[in-house]
Amino acid sequence: MQTLSLQVFGVSTGFVTAGAIIALSYSTVPVFLSHPNEVSLRHLRALFSSGSHIFPQLATAASTAFSVLAYTAPPASPLRYQYIVAAAGTIGIAPFTILVMKPTNMTLKEIGEQGNEGIKRSGGEQRVQELLRRFGRLNAIRGGILAMGAGVGLYAALSQRN
């Protein structure tokens, strides 16, 4: 029963978190692009803050579930390796965020903190719009990484049932 609970928890948490991250890219960023940049950047800062308190913890929880499943799987079995890939995929949003997204996120945050003056210094309205679009694309990729991990976890869980 413990295995089933961990499988359900890891897969569902991974997919729900991935879906939420991807939904933000496809629903929130277009709204940001349709408003004045100063307003959008203020709201983006709030989004960064709230997301940083939710998504890393959920990804860690899913990854932990898959890690425990990998640890309890038979040694050197395909199942163990599948759960290892699932664990790495679900926690993979952390290095992606730090190494790939952070420059864009920090630039947007700094521009937003400076208001209209920051927008002018950054290269203008068009530059901010480009950065917002880039954030949206990178955020969708981040959600895709997490979904890939959850998908591998689902595959492993279903293959164990046969």
Q: Would you state the pLDDT for residue 1?
A: 55
Whether the CB-CB separation of 31 and 65 falls below 8 Å is answered with no
56, 62, 67, 73: CA torsion to nearest 10? -170
What gap in Å lies between CA 83 and CA 104, rounded to an integer? 32
Q: Which amino acid does the sequence have at 140?
A: A
At 85-121, the pLDDT tens digits run 999 999 999 999 999 999 999 998 888 888 777 777 7
Whether the CB-CB separation of 44 and 112 falls below 8 Å is answered with yes
At 113-157, the pLDDT tens digits run 887 777 777 777 888 899 999 999 999 999 999 999 999 999 999
Share of the chain above pLDDT 90, in %: 67
Pick from 74, 78, 95, 79: which is nearest to 146 by CA?
95
Alpha helices in the chain (DSSP H): 2-23, 29-33, 37-52, 55-72, 78-91, 93-96, 102-122, 125-161
Q: Would you state the pLDDT for residue 151?
A: 97
Q: What angle do CA 142, 37, 102 make, to 5 degrees?
A: 30
At 27-40, the pLDDT tens digits run 999 999 898 888 88
